With several copies, the nearest count.
Chain A
Amino acid sequence: MGRRRGSTPYLLLGPGLAWLAAFFLVPLVLLAYQSLQSGSFDFGYQFTWEFSNYWDAITNYKTQLIRSFVYAGLATLLALLISYPLVYWIAFRGGRWKNLFLLAIIAPFFVTYLIRTLAWQNILADQGMVVGILRDLHILAPDGRLLATSTAVVAGITYNFLPFMALPLYVALEQIDPRLLEAAQDLYASRLRVFLRVTLPLSLPGVFAGTLLTFIPAAGDFINAQLLGTPNQHMIGNVIQSKFLELIDYPAAAALSFVLMAFILVGVAAYSRALGTERLTG
């Protein structure tokens, strides 16, 4: 890990962090300033250290906050379960086509979100084949549906954030030395054991990165809930959206954003401690 000190690390960080400082930190400060304002759009906002904005944000939108984290958590878990075997296959069986498969994973992003979702709506339509089968299998009630349900929202998030899980996972899996897997097998580890005791631990950095890249943006997502959910599935992102655009209540929107960020950061810190990858990921 960290070896030579001196100016080098700062030189490396320099350009990137400068960029973030200029185009993320500064706006963030404006945002913070806004989050402490009071007043209304019609009569203008004044800066009054209005901490109550934060309090309101937390108290009034507990449900949406919790819902966001639950949905994001579920989606992250699903994404992990779905993509791990896939990228495992790519990493160890992909041969020279590895990169092609990687590209295929992000390919859905080439047609924009709306089109993707329209396509899904087509596939999962109440009258569609999928739903039909599920109904025949009595997984769905005869009048049951997939669209406009929590299932749909979580599924939508899962699908749309899958690449953010898959690619980091791949990155970590791809550099595992196969000789270690051989050694494990030599020591009587069944395929499952090899996976649990060697492959998985060695891929933890990837799991760590993947889960964060999925969970964090997912927690702030609003579009899936809007297009695939009913009013009862709306997440904190939708609230912020409507506060900002429809109600033009900028302080509230800003305060909510900071609340969300705070929760996420705390989560990240705790998570990395728990997973012990702080050490790993440096």
Chain B
Amino acid sequence: MTAVESLRDETNVAAPAQQADVRLDGVTKSFDDVVAVDDLTVEVPKGSFFALLGPSGCGKTTTLRMIGGFEEPDAGAIFLGDRAVTGLPPHKRDVNTVFQSYALFPHLTIFENVAFGLRRRRIKGKQLAGRVHEMLGLVDLHGMDQRKPRQLSGGQQQRVALARALVNNPQVLLLDEPLGALDLKLRKQMQLTLKQIQHEIGITFVHVTHDQEEAMTMADTIAVMNGGRIEQLGPPEDLYERPRTSFVARFLGASNLLPGTVEENGRVRLRSGHVVEVSDGAVERGTEVAVGIRPEKLRVGGEQLANRLRGTVAERSYVGVATQYIVSTADGTLTLFVQNAEPGAGSLEPGADIDLSFDPEAAFVVDHTQEEDT
């Protein structure tokens, strides 16, 4: 409780809490030997949609739990708005969480689960029922309001968890994989719903997801975490087009990384001796780097593009939208996708020689040394 009292005072002097946003300042949390979150500093602007991406076990949930007030940071401070909330109990934070493990109340009906937060705020009768049913409608759970959680399917439970948090219109909503158990169709639908709610009520979302497309399409800002630290933070396009580390490059969608040495600005000599042009040239001469190129940016044949590579088709597999080729070259094996709609998309047999080319604009350079750490 210690901080609580002091905070009461603080809030009086502090600016009105409306302009709440989330700020973590050098936050660290370890569980006995494991460092779950390591000196994390990040700022989430009010009303923005902030996505937290990262490999399993990198500290996403722990971060959310600290914002929600379920874990005390070992070090560092957390701010909601201008208000340092370290030590403030969860129920005093205008933050709601969709828990990764749902944490639905087994003894309450779906209705009561969703109504829980509202009741705490003395909302009653028609108004209560109205909002609850509206919310259950939004998550497609009509007519299940009298069931108990254990009578629901996984996805249905997850949607209840979502509804239970959303119905309160908090300043900040923490979502820990809120859609992970939903099928694509429903997930898209929910994504739209979330976006709408965000626009309408201007909630700040902190969204943990494993679905990169989800992050890409929904988030204003994405932070890629790794081992308790933030590896790169920025708008979706940047992270995808200009990953700063090979970890990010690999983490966001498949990447082809070709090791080489910087010749002179704009030019990299690959292991095979072959030289390729790259657009961003701010790398010092002689440094070991890797040239990155997204599979879908590799074109088959096509003299039209500056950089060329030769190889032979090792594998071909069908992935709905496109055909995926694994091509082995002197600089390592590359993956590429060819749109099936393109003429003769699936035509190349394994073993066939293949000419590949890519635009310097489409390539990016990451420090090669980092390649190991993934």
Contact = CB atoms under 8 A, between A and B. Distances in A.
- Whether A associates with B in a native complex is yes
A185 B90 contact: yes
B212 to A, nearest CB: 27
Contacts of B126: none
Contacts of B105: 180, 183-184, 198
Nearest to B168: A187
Interface string B1-13: 1100000000000
A96 to B, nearest CB: 14
Interface string B80-95: 0000000001110001
A201 interface: yes
Interface string A94-128: 00000000000000000000000000000000000
A246 interface: no
A6 B2 contact: yes
B70 A182 contact: yes
Interface string B202-244: 0000000000000000000000000000000000000000000
B287 interface: no
Chain A binding surface SS class: helix
Contacts of A185: 69-70, 89-91
Interface stretch (B47-55, B113-121, B310-318, B356-364): B113-121
Contacts of B106: 180, 202
B159 interface: no
Given A8-B1, A197-B116, A183 B99 contact: yes
Contacts of A184: 105, 116
Interface stretch (A145-153, A155-163, A188-196): A188-196
A7 interface: yes
Contacts of B97: 183, 186
Contacts of A177: 103
Contacts of A179: 99, 101, 103
A182 B101 contact: no
Nearest to B70: A182
Contacts of B295: none
Nearest to A185: B90
Contacts of B168: 187-188
Interface string A151-176: 00000000000000000000000000
A193 B120 contact: yes
Given A179-B103, A180-B103, A187 B96 contact: yes
B259 interface: no
Nearest to A280: B107
Interface in B98-112: 99, 101, 103-108
Contacts of A183: 97, 99, 103-105
Contacts of A191: 89, 91
A93 interface: no
B292 interface: no
A4 interface: yes
B29 interface: no
Contact of B96 (A186, A198, A201): A186
A28 B89 CA distance: 41
A201 B90 contact: no
Contact of B95 (A6, A186, A197, A198): A186
A191 B4 CA distance: 14
Contact of B121 (A188, A194, A202): A188
A190 B105 CA distance: 16
B269 interface: no
Interface in B115-161: 116-117, 120-121
A7 B1 contact: yes
Nearest to B101: A179
Contacts of B121: 188
Nearest to B164: A187
B278 to A, nearest CB: 47
A144 B21 CA distance: 64
Contacts of A7: 1
B68 interface: yes
A190 B122 CA distance: 13
Interface in B53-90: 68-70, 89-90
Nearest first, the 3 closest Cβ-Cβ pairs linking A and B are A187-B117, A185-B90, A183-B103
10 contacts: A6-B2, A180-B106, A182-B103, A184-B105, A185-B90, A186-B90, A187-B117, A187-B120, A198-B107, A202-B106
